[in-house]
């Protein structure tokens, strides 16, 4: 498996969204809506204190949930040996996001207020809801 190009992880708008990508958008949204306590846009994956909400003691952002649902784990820094890029790049590809859908052409720019993975939680969920159709 080839690593995603860090400069161009986005789906070309001329390329149709894949079935797996469309389904992952819906599954990610469903997970977040069914378990809001397991959703946090401030962390890719955050281990909570044992006495808090989730039995698995984690919360995830949209990118973290997409990668977890598709791969069974969150690889925040990627896994080069397995060909898995860091979460934010992998999730963009797994969800089949175009730069316009993501809200930026700079996938890792934390200061970009329009980028899906860096929006406040309620805004991010609303954007994902639109993307999941």
Cα–Cα dist 58/48, whole Å? 6
Q: Is 49 within the bounds of a domain?
A: yes
Query: pLDDT tens across 40-98, in order?
Result: 888 656 555 444 444 454 678 999 999 999 999 999 889 999 999 999 999 999 999 99
**Residue with more model confidence, 86 or 113:** 86
Cα–Cα dist 64/12, whole Å? 23
Q: Is 10 within the bounds of a domain?
A: no
Q: Is 113 within the bounds of a domain?
A: yes
pLDDT at position 53? 44
Cα–Cα dist 53/21, whole Å? 29
Least confident span in 11-25, 30-44, 90-104: 30-44
Q: Is 28 within the bounds of a domain?
A: yes
Structural domain containing residue 43: 23-132
Q: How many domains does the chain have?
A: 1
Q: Is 4 within the bounds of a domain?
A: no
Q: Is 48 within the bounds of a domain?
A: yes
Q: Is 9 within the bounds of a domain?
A: no
Alpha carbon distances (Å) from 20 to 15, 27, 52, 58 = 14, 10, 33, 25
User: Which residues have a Cβ under 8 Å from the Cβ of 98 and sit 6 or more positions away?
Assistant: 10, 11, 12, 13
Q: Is 32 within the bounds of a domain?
A: yes
């Amino acid at each position: 498996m080839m690593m995603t190009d860090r400069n161009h992880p986005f789906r070309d708008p001329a390329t149709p969204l894949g079935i797996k990508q469309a389904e992952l958008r819906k599954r990610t949204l469903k997970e977040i809506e069914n378990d809001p306590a397991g959703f946090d846009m401030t962390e890719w994956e955050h281990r909570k204190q044992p006495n808090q909400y989730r039995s698995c003691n984690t919360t995830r952002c949209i990118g973290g949930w997409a990668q977890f649902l598709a791969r069974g784990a969150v690889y925040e820094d990627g896994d080069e040996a397995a060909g898995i890029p860091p979460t934010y790049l992998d999730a963009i590809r797994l969800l089949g996001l175009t730069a316009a859908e993501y809200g930026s052409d700079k996938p890792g720019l934390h200061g970009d207020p329009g980028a899906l993975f860096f929006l406040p939680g309620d805004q991010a969920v609303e954007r994902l809801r639109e993307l999941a159709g």
